[in-house]
Structure 1
């Protein structure tokens, strides 16, 4: 693992960027994320990813307000950071700090030992998602390709 600082565009793959995902609950959103990551990286167990995401949510919701959530966890046996970006077809209840339902989700799964990168990425994401116009542009995407482009064009 190189020690160049991680940016959103080198942890997010186009195939892990999904638009208008149907999900009925926070739990379904996290299950969906775990399924996507496992499909992309079959050395990882879906159950393990899901359980780690849920365990992190129990410490406090990762819903950061204004319809945005950044679920994240560390994972044993992972070699590089994985990002998943999804917009939801309909907003779901996420126990967010402002009690608003969430429709924009960026999940971050990091190697067990990658603490500083983890925090760095979370702050990059939080900063981006703080810009309302940026979030609106992501929400307006009709397809995954556009969503991926808009997310990664902004990083750099």
Structure 2
């Protein structure tokens, strides 16, 4: 599994700020609708339902919200870089500025976990995060994310 298979170049965006986690989920849902054809309302509901089980802010300014959608046929990714960090109830209580969302089919099972592990490994790399934070151009951010994995695999 490659990040380039999960994340379309058009599913990467820099947002000046989000006023709340829920507002951010609406932005993610809109991107999911435009890029993957998902019902935006269903995406927001699924992300909020998952977040109610426990926060997906993993620390060091990173959040990995994820959810299963009955309408999803493949695992899909959305990446948002926030210019103004947002409180995300993270484990380290630090605000979040890098958000990598995964949306998976209900029956994804192990594949969903593999995708989460792949994204988590990539986002734990301090040099990748520094590059992501230093760039606001979506095409550059997509290249950083997808080339990072190719470099790690080599």
TM range (shorter): over 0.9
Q: Which has the higher contact order (CA 8 A, sep 6+)?
A: 1
Structure 1 unmatched runs, 5+: 1-5
**Displacement, 1:154?**
0.8
| 1:37 aligned to which of 20, 28, 32 | 32
Query: Which residue number corresponds to residue 135 of structure 2?
Result: 141
Matched, 1:101 2:95: yes
**8 Å CA contact 2:17, 2:85 repeated in 1:** no
Instruction: Look up the match of 1:3.
Output: none
TM-score of the superposed pair, with normalisation by structure 1: 0.92
Residue of 4, 7, 27 corresponding to 2:2:
7
> Which residue is 2:12 aligned to?
17
How many residues matched? 150
**Conserved in 2, the CA contact under 8 Å of 1:23 and 1:89?**
no
Q: Deviations over 1:100-152 (max 9, x none)?
A: 00000000000110011110111111111111111011111121111010011
Structure 2 unaligned runs (5+)? none
Secondary structure at 1:154's aligned position in 2?
A: helix
Q: CA deviation at 1:21?
A: 4.1
What TM-score do you get using the length of structure 2 for normalisation? 0.93
| Distance (whole Å) between structure 2 residues aligned to residue 103 and residue 84 of structure 1 | 14
Aligned 8 A contact 2:55 2:88 in 1:
yes
Match of 2:53 in 1: 59
Secondary structure, counterpart of 1:61 in structure 2: coil
| 1:69 aligned partner | 63
Contact 1:17 1:85 in 2 (8 A): yes
User: What is the alpha-carbon root mean square deviation over aligned residues?
Assistant: 1.0
